[in-house]
Each structure stands twice: as C-alpha cells, then as structure tokens.
Amino acid sequence: MEETTNNIGLDYNTERERLEMPEYGRNVLKMVEKMKETPDREKRSEQARAIVKVMELLNPQVRQLDNYDHKLWDHLYMIAGFDLDVDSPYPSPVAEEFNTRPVPIPMKGDKIKATHYGRNIEKIINLLCDEPDGEMKSEMIRSLAIYMRQQYLIWNKDSVSDETIFNDIEKLSDYRLRVPDGIKLHQINIDANFSRPGLNINVGQGGGGKNRNGHRKNNKGKRK
C-alpha cells in the first residue's frame, strides 16, 4: 500500500520571498505590491503615504533618527525594489547606494607576536633595545620579566620558569635584546592571585570575600 503524506498547507518563511526590510513584516510587502498594481498614479501616491504611516507605527524607533520621515520613504522604495512610481516628498534613492559593500578597516600596526603579553610589551621591548647597556638597563629588563611572568600566569598555566620568560623577551625582540646573565626573578607570593581581566574573582568587599581554601573571611572584630 502506497504511503500518502497529509499536506496540511503549512506556509514556512524559509519558502517565501526574502524580505528586504524584515522589521516591517510581510504584510507591508503585500501592501506595497498591491499598491504598485493600482493604475492611477494619484491613488498610488495616496496609498504610499498611508503605507509610510503604517511603517512608522510598526517601527517606532525610527523616530529617533534624524530626518526619519525621509528614511521611511527610502525604506518604502527598498521594499518596492526601487521600482515605484509615486509622488514622493523626497527624491527616489539609488539602489547602488544601498548595495555598496563596506570599506574594510585596516588593522593598526603589525600582528601581535604573543597575544598573552599584548602589544605594549612588544613596544617596551623595542624601546629597551635602543637603551645603552648598563645596570639601569638590566634592572629595567628584570622589571619587565617580572611583569611578563604575571601576564603569562594569567593566560597560560600555574607555573613558568625564569628561563622561559627570558627566552620570550629575546624572541620578541628578534634577538636584538639579550637578557644579562645572573638575573633572577623574585619568588611569587603563595597568596598571589593572577586573574584574567573581567573575571573579577576577588569580589569580596571590605574583607568579606573567600580565602584560598574557599572559606568566608570573618569580618567580626575581636572582643575587647
């Protein structure tokens, strides 16, 4: 026995004509198509003005725009496929003006070599390359390495060796900068908490946050 499908006449939007201005809905499109079939120009113009009023009601936020009435008439022409012969208070827009692809915005500067350090670190390294060798430069490199280790721990893992940071400094400088021998970074405090920007882990105010073991701090004062 041949199986039959019960066609209940469902009408899906995916099977309909694409809407150029979906914010106004398909009923406005039908109104515009009906208006275009009206042979009398004066009658068409009257219907066009009525449709613009309906569009304003359906899309009230358009009133926040400058010259919103002009924009509504432009939208009407767009819905009509720029094929509309009516008496409009504004000149008919040109389809090419709305179909122009946006001009791509060029990226500023070169590509970041190590995103977990950021572009500013690369700029600092480039500045250090031009500094004369000496005790001051060595201390600046050490301070930079400490900061880079903190940035590394935010985005990567729980621990990192001094040698890894020193190698990153030299690599980011294209080996124009050499880390002096004997530089040691101080040990990280066991209570240090390097959180990613925006995560806001330490949300406690006035000592009311949680400590490292997950227990709530006691804000009560000691008895006198």
Q: Return the pLDDT at 8.
A: 56
| Burial per residue of 184-194, b for 16 or more beta-carbon CB atoms within 10 angstroms, e otherwise | ebeeeeeeeee
**216 part of a folded domain:** no
Q: Do 118 and 75 reside in the same domain of the chain?
A: no
Segment 151-170 shows an average pLDDT of 85
More confident residue, 210 or 36: 36
pLDDT band at 217 (very low <50, low <70, confident <90, very high): very low
Q: What tokens appear for 15 in the block?
A: 């099977």
Query: Please, which residues have CB within 8 angstroms of residue 152's CB and are 6 or more apart in sequence?
Result: 116, 117, 160, 164, 165, 168
Q: Please, which residues have CB within 8 angstroms of residue 180's CB and are 6 or more apart in sequence?
A: 138, 141
The three-state secondary structure class of 210 is: strand
Query: What pLDDT is attached to residue 62?
Result: 86
55-64: average pLDDT: 89
What is the residue-averaged pLDDT of the chain?
Answer: 78
Residue 209 lies in a domain: no
Task: Name the domain boundary from 99, 123, 157.
Answer: 99
Task: Flag whether 104 is in a domain.
Answer: no
* Residue 90: pLDDT band with limits 50, 70, 90: very high
CB atoms within 10 A of CB 77: 22
Q: Give CA–CA dist 64/85, Å, rounded.
A: 28
Q: Does 181 reside within a domain? A: yes
Judge if 115 and 90 occupy the same domain. no
Q: Is residue 213 in some structural domain?
A: no
**Last residue of a domain, which of 48, 81, 99?**
99
Structure tokens at 215: 């227990």
Do residues 188 and 119 share a domain? yes
Cα gap 121→216, rounded to integer Å? 37
Structural contact between residues 16 and 33, judged by C-beta atoms closer than 8 angstroms? no
What token pair was written down for 66? Answer: 């400058």
**Number of domains within the chain:** 2
Query: Which string of DSSP letters, residue by residue, matches 139-179?
Result: HHHHHHHHHHHHHHHHHS-S---HHHHHHHHHHHTTT-S-P
Residue 205 lies in a domain: no
- Residue 160 to residue 152: CA distance in whole angstroms: 8
Shared domain check, 92 and 131? no
Average pLDDT for 111-119: 80
Do 190 and 118 share a structural domain?
Answer: yes
Per-residue pLDDT for 106 more than 80? no
Looking at 69, 99, 129, which one is the last position of a domain?
A: 99
Return the structure tokens found at 54.
């309906």
Q: Does 222 map to a domain?
A: no
Q: Are residues 88 and 156 in the same domain?
A: no
Question: Is 120 in the same domain as 171?
Answer: yes
155 domain-assigned: yes
Task: Give the pLDDT confidence of 65-75 residue by residue, as tens digits.
Answer: 889 999 999 99
Is the domain of 68 the same as that of 140? no
Pair (193, 115) in one structural domain: yes
Domain with 145 in it: 109-199
Do 161 and 89 lie in a common domain? no
State the pLDDT confidence band at 211, using cuts at 50, 70 and 90: very low
| Confidence at 188, pLDDT banded by 50, 70, 90 | low
Model pLDDT, residue 194? 52
Predicted pLDDT of residue 73? 94
Question: For residue 118, what pLDDT is reported?
Answer: 81
- Judgement on whether residues 113 and 192 belong to the same structural domain of the protein: yes
At a CB cut-off of 8 Å and minimum separation 6, what does 86 contact? 41, 44, 45, 48
DSSP state of 5: -
| Same-domain check for residues 40 and 75 | yes
Q: What SS3 state is found at 216?
A: strand
Q: Can you point out the beta strands (E) in 15-77?
A: none
